[in-house]
Amino acid sequence: MSLLLDAAAQDLLFREARTANTFTDEPVTDEQVRAIYDLVKYGPTSMNQSPLRVTLVRSPEARERLVQHLAEGNRSKTAAAPLVAILSADNEFHEELPQLFPHFPQAKDAVFGERPVREGSAALNAALQAAYFIIGVRAAGLAAGPMTGLDFEGLRKEFLDDDHTPLMVVNIGRPGPDAWFPRSPRLEFEQVVTTV
């Protein structure tokens, strides 16, 4: 075996894990979300920047406001999910760099002083962290239903501010009946990997 992670863990995180479309009504606790974050915060990013921000949508009122910004096919499953998270990129992430990247504290201004540079870096690194977050949800024994079929600008205005760019909405919970679509194909190694 070429991987150190045992087969059961590989299945939990990747092979058997799927995007869930239905969920049970079992709640997802704050303790579970904290455990997920406390694991995935260690995923690598450029210069240890941590631009991902997570907005948990728990109240029925907030859920109603959220659902109106989703594509029609995403509304009912989001309305019924035990927990929904809005994942966004904080374009002012550089303010934490002196703490997060202490051996080069001047990176805050020297590298990320201009907003367009920050936005590009925040988008890439928050997307990495969003992927780690999804894997963390799976590591907690839960299913994630990430979605990008939504009105991003409407969502930003409703829940965020001009310094945050929404990336996706993730439904979280235990998978319910008929939760999965059939597994879609994946590209083979030879289609993806080249050596030079």
Q: pLDDT value at position 94?
A: 96
pTM: 0.95
Joined together, the tokens standing for residue 42 give: 């260690």
> Is there a contact between 143 and 175 (Cβ–Cβ < 8 Å)?
yes
Q: pLDDT value at position 175?
A: 95
Nearest to 58 by CA among 75, 78, 76, 72: 78
Sheet strand arrangement including 164-173:
52-57, 83-90, 164-173, 143-147
One digit per residue, pLDDT tens: the chain, 196 residues? Answer: 689 999 999 999 999 999 999 999 999 999 999 999 999 999 999 999 999 999 999 999 999 999 999 999 999 999 999 999 999 999 999 999 999 999 998 999 999 999 999 999 999 999 999 999 999 999 999 999 999 999 999 999 999 999 999 999 999 999 999 999 899 999 999 999 999 9
> Helix or strand or coil: residue 188?
coil
Nearest to 46 by CA among 116, 104, 113, 88: 104
> Is there a contact between 133 and 51 (Cβ–Cβ < 8 Å)?
no
Domains of the chain: 27-174 (3.40.109.10)
Q: pLDDT value at position 136?
A: 98
Q: pLDDT value at position 105?
A: 84
